Structure formats: structure tokens, C-alpha cells
Chain A
Amino acid sequence: MAVFKDTEYLYEVLGGFWKTLSEKNEFSSAIKEADVQIKFEITDPSAIIWVGPNGVEFGEQEIKADVTMQLAGDVCHAFWKKDLSLPVALALRKIKSRGNIAKVMKLLPVLKPAYVLYPEYMKKHGL
């Protein structure tokens, strides 16, 4: 059974996590500086999350993505829990990406605290 039971729940939990992150100064200034718009095309359940300089949006939007990442909801969860290494996920095609990945690499240093934050955040949601 999928970790996120339906789209609404995924937006609430995973979307909420991204919103929490984007409200943090360190992350919001880094994504503004990197000027990168990331589109997550999520399957099972089906969802779209946009993360960019203007914050976090859900669903289809009139925005041009610099990087598009396609992955399942469970893969998102495993990635943030550090149960899945990014290169292995890419190699096994659990994550597919298109676009300027170098721009995303710029965000990696500021994502470090997010790894710590995620388990606590999931705990609050009973996951």
C-alpha cells in the first residue's frame, strides 16, 4: 500500500513539508539565488508539486520548469527518509529527471537540514 493514500493526503503531508521548508529563510534565499523552478511529477498517487523562487504550488500551473523530476510517492518518502540513495534511484529509474540538474545541485547544501526535519514532520502525521 502506498505511503500517501491519495492525492489530497500527499499534498497535505509532502506538499506541507515543502511549504515548511520554503518558509525557512535559508532555503527560500537559496532557491531564489539558484533561480530554479522544480516540477515534481508524482505517481501513485498522482500529483504535481512545484518548488521555486515564488514558493510551493500544487497541480498544473502556467510555469516553465527548469528541472522536472518524475517519481512515485513512495520514492519521495524513501528519499527523504534517507532509505534511498539518489544515484541508485536514478540508476534504477525510480527517479527520472530532465533539465539543468546542476541548478538543483546548488540546493543540496541547504537540503541537509531537511533530512533532519522530515522524520519529525512525518511523525506528526503518523507516518
Chain B
Amino acid sequence: MAYDFLDLHVADQISLSDEHVALKKAVRKFATEVVRPASIELDKMSAEDMAQKDSPYWTVMRKAHELGYHTIFIPEEYGGLGLDPLGIHIFFEEMAAASIGIAVACGVDVFPTFFANMIMAEYPQLEDILIKPYVADKDCSMLGCWAITEPEHGSDILTPYQSHFHNPKISHQLMGKKDGDDWILNGQKAAWVSNGTTATMSLLFFGTDASMGLAGGGIAIADLNVPGVSRGKPLEKIGQRDLPQGEIYFDDVRVPKERIFCLSDSYEQMTDLVLGAANAHMAIMCVGGARAAFEETLTYSKERIQGGKPLCEHQDVQRRLAEMFISIEASRQLSRNVLNYNLWNFPPNTTYSMCSKIFCSRVAFDVAQNAVQIFGGNGLTKEYAIEKIFRDITSTRIEDGSNESLTLAVGHDILHGEIPYGI
């Protein structure tokens, strides 16, 4: 008995071109000189202060827009950087090595325009309303977010094709009602919306038909600067404190037809596609975070003397460093291949994206845990960056679907999904 599997290498050869090398150098410079110092400062601030207009969060996001990093998914023809899958991996790994939270903020910033780009053939007016001004934006007056989770819905709203998704007793807390060609939205999104307190636009998931359960939904590219939209208090949390998160409330908010990305006829499939994209990217954040933990530890182990010699001269520390290195390299290869395959094949294979996110976040947590052990007591103090990196990485096992829920979804796909999992 044998099972078939995706030949992830089929999409393209993994090799860095001169452009990739230059991109890595440029992003690393921005990440090291701007992102990391700001993220350390933001980590010490209250969530409320962090969301204020004069906080380092805005300095970083504005600089990212100045450099055009908000356009990495927008084709060159529309003025974007239009990076290829490997370029995108390089970008997010470098950013996450400096700060997972800020890397996520940059990732979700792109969501609304990335999806708007896909429906421009139908609604060419979106080019003038959204794409052109967003590409030209240098002062962060346009900023995106991805609003899917709700106070009562976390991983369940992210995992279509499961029986709970069609249970009419489980429905969206943000509901839409059709009014002519437009939709009127009422309800709220969870405090976990990344950039929720700061964004001006959102890739917004809402319910359209409660009788269909969570499957009765739609996705809008919503303007958040319209009457009826209000924000909750910025969320205080254990890690990724440099990523502003908070509730968004909708009170009779009108969304015009051209901003509706999809409705219930394709909502479940589209949610699957979005989950596939999100998980593939979350995996990269984990690779970056794990790399940061490893790099901090390697440096520390060369400087810290214990038992009369540097830590790195102790055999068990060498073994731990080697284990960290091996697992990070493996996670990078998996996440690069999954991203490459899924950005070059439509529809993408969401199961592989989930596998990549689960594996890479496990590796990142394991690496961070080992790193703190090597740091010893110093790893528990705020004097060293590893303490923050450990807290940031902890969130990745829950972010974009808890690993437990996603693993169950992978199991479901193996048994009941399409080939290439079949026997």
C-alpha cells in the first residue's frame, strides 16, 4: 500500500538569483536597523500607547511603505514589487527574524489589496479606488488587516470542510443583510484582528445566511473609514506585543457591490484558499523567529563563560545548537517549497500549508525553548532579546488556527480529501 504525495519541487528549482540576494540584503538591513529596535521598544509599551500615532509602530510601518514593501504581492504592472514566491519567503523570513509581530503586521497589511487585485477584471474601478492609491501610499494612510475571527469563533471559523462548518447552530457574529446590490453589516470581529486597531481597510469575513452555519458567508474588501465602524481597546497579550490587535465593531455599515470578493456560493472554498495562503506565510514567520532564537543563542554561547570555558565549548550545548540548526534548515526547506508550490498552483494545496505551519511552529517553539535553557537564568530576564523571542514564538502555535485544530484538519484531509492523499 502506498500513498501519493505532491512533488513540491515540480514548481521551480530553488535557487537564489542576484535579485534574491540583493533583496535579502536590503530587507535584512531594514529589519536589523529599523524593525528589531522598534519591536523591542514596542514590547515594553502598553497596547494603548503602542497604537498611538507617535509610537515606533507607525515609524516602522511608514518606513516599510516608503520602501514599497507593502506592494510585494502587487504586480509590477500596477506599480508593485511583484515578488516571486522565493522573494516573498526571503522578505518574511528576514522581517520575522527581527520581529514576528511586525512581520505579521506587514503581511496582513497587504491582504485587502492582494484580494482586490484578483477581482479587478470584474471591477476595474478598484484600480483607482484601492490599488493605485495603496501602491502610491508612503505615509501609511492606507493600511490593511485581515478580520476573520470573532469572540466566539477562532480555529473553527478557519477550518472549512469539517462538519461544524455546516452546523446551523453555529453562525457568524458579524452578519450581513443584502440591500439592493450592497450589503449592510452588523456585529463584531474578535480582539485578535491583527492591525485591527490601526487599519483603514480589511479583508473582512461576514455571515450571509445563518441557516448554512459558518459556510453561509461572504468576504468583503471593506473600507474601515466609513460611518458605523468603531474599534475596541487594543489587546494586551503575552507575545507579539509589537503587533496591534483589537476588536472592530460594525453598526449598519454599508459595503458596496464592487467591494464584495465572494459570497456563500464559494465562501467555503475561498476560506480554504485564504487559510492556505495564511498558513503558508505563518510558517515563514516561524522560520524567521526560530532563526532569531538560534542566532541570539549562538552569539551568547560564544560569550558566556561557565565552568571555565565558553558555553559553546560544552558538548551538550554544541549538540543543542546542532539540533536547532538542523530543524530550522528543515523547516525552511518545507516552508519554501510549500509557498512555492501554492503560489504557483491554483487552487493551492491547503493541507500542505497547514502541515508547514504546524511543523515550523513546532520547530520554532522547540528551538526557543532550547535557547532559553542555554541562556539559563539570563533567558528569563528582559535583559536579553531571547525572552521576547520566546514569548513571540509561543503565539505561533495558536495564531492562524491552533496546531491541534489544524492537525485534525490535516487528518481529515488525509482520510477524506482529494488525491494526492488517496491510496
Binding site for B on A (CB under 8 A): 82, 85-88, 90-93, 95-102, 105-106, 108-109, 111-112, 115
Contacts and interface: CB of A to CB of B under 8 A. Distances in A.
Interface string B235-278: 00000000000000000000000000110011001101100000
Contacts of B121: 82, 85-86, 108, 111-112, 115
A91 B261 CA distance: 12
A118 B125 CA distance: 20
Contacts of A112: 121, 124
A97 to B, nearest CB: 5
Contact of A106 (B75, B266, B345): B75
A109 to B, nearest CB: 6
Contacts of A87: 115, 118-119, 261-262, 270, 273
B347 interface: yes
A101 B344 contact: yes
Contacts of A95: 346
17 contacts: A82-B122, A85-B121, A86-B119, A87-B119, A88-B270, A91-B272, A92-B269, A93-B269, A95-B346, A99-B345, A100-B344, A101-B343, A101-B344, A102-B82, A102-B84, A112-B124, A115-B121
B77 interface: yes
A88 B77 contact: no
A115 B120 CA distance: 12
A85 B123 CA distance: 10
Interface in B334-349: 343-347
Nearest to A114: B121
B76 interface: yes
Contacts of A99: 11, 344-345
A93 B347 CA distance: 7
Contacts of B265: 88
B273 A109 contact: no
Contact of B262 (A82, A91, A96, A98): A91
B262 A90 contact: no
A86 B84 CA distance: 20
Main secondary structure of the interface of B (DSSP, over half): mixed
Which 8 pairs show the lowest CB-CB distances between chains A and B? A91-B269, A87-B118, A105-B75, A88-B266, A97-B346, A90-B346, A91-B270, A91-B266
A115 to B, nearest CB: 7
A92 B266 contact: yes
A70 to B, nearest CB: 10
Interface in B175-234: none
B79 to A, nearest CB: 11
B253 to A, nearest CB: 23
B72 to A, nearest CB: 11
Interface in B117-150: 117-122, 124
A85 B266 CA distance: 11
Contact of A90 (B76, B261, B347): B347
